[in-house]
Amino acid sequence: MKEKIAKKEIPFNIVVFSILLVIGIIMIVPFIIMIVIALERYANVQPPFPITFNVKEPSFFNFNLILENGGLVQSYINSFIIAVGSVIVNLFSVLLAGFAFSKGKFKGKNLILVLILATMMIPFETRMIPMYLMFNDFGLKNSFLALILPSVVDGFGILLVKNFFDMIPDSLMEASQIDGCNKFQSFFRIFLPFTGSISATLVILKFMSSWNSLLWPLIILSDEKKQTVPMFISSFSYENGSRLAGSTMAAAFLGIIPVVVIYLLLQRFVIQSIATTGLKE
């Protein structure tokens, strides 16, 4: 019986694999094109068109061009400070909030949760001007804190963590309280050790979101020395406004490396967070 079921699944698996293969190729082609243009010696003068996967004159000229004045290195440092700060602030607030909404008992819990989740439906563009005025009044304009502090409220992260804690049996909380632990002690001693996988997922999402952010940094930062990697990438142009294709693609290639590295280091924890969805029965 099992052999018959296995044989029936073979065509289905082939179709699924073929679809995923096509999607994977479609997603990776733009990155290949980016690398080809970055390695093309005269891409700044004459971008390759039509696009080919063959580098006519391979050279690291475009990479040397963006690295020669140290601007990219400084942008890397700035983006790391902002991304790491955002991750730390986000993890602290989201884990505590998700635990409170999952295991806590207080009046208005569901209403507050709905209000927080409702912020996910408000476009950033509608909040942009009030946020700018608020941080300007606080004296945080042109400051990294203005890019880090908004990570305190994260509706999606709170919902993700709440659902994760919902899968952990309530008996653990009751047992810890019997042993004399208050809610904070229960969180840090009992529940926090379970959050390795979900925390890794949050780190990837928040780091990627912070690292790739462009609009808000462009609005709140005015000092060129504080520009982030996306701001640095967007700054490449001739005096007449035409785009330096080779240098832009080289900067973009170097700009995505940290995100890829973070994901490769933490992907196994993300898989674990998916596998633990059956913890509570």
Residue type present at position 126: T
State the sign of the Cα–Cα–Cα–Cα dihedral 82, 88, 94, 100. negative
- Judging by beta carbons within 10 Å of its beta carbon (0-12, 13-18, 19+), is residue 280 exposed, middle or buried? exposed
| Contact yes or no for 246/44 (Cβ under 8 A) | yes
Helix pair angle (155-166, 109-118), 10° resolution: 140
- pLDDT at residue 110, rounded to an integer: 86
* 173 Cβ contact list (under 8 Å, min separation 6): 103, 186, 190, 191
For residue 40, the 8-state DSSP code is B
Block mean pLDDT (10 aa), the chain, length 281: 58 84 89 86 74 78 81 89 94 91 85 86 86 90 91 87 86 80 83 85 89 90 88 69 76 87 80 54 42
| Contact yes or no for 146/220 (Cβ under 8 A) | yes
- pLDDT at residue 95, rounded to an integer: 92
State the sign of the Cα–Cα–Cα–Cα dihedral 127, 133, 139, 142. positive
- pLDDT at residue 280, rounded to an integer: 46
- pLDDT at residue 120, rounded to an integer: 84
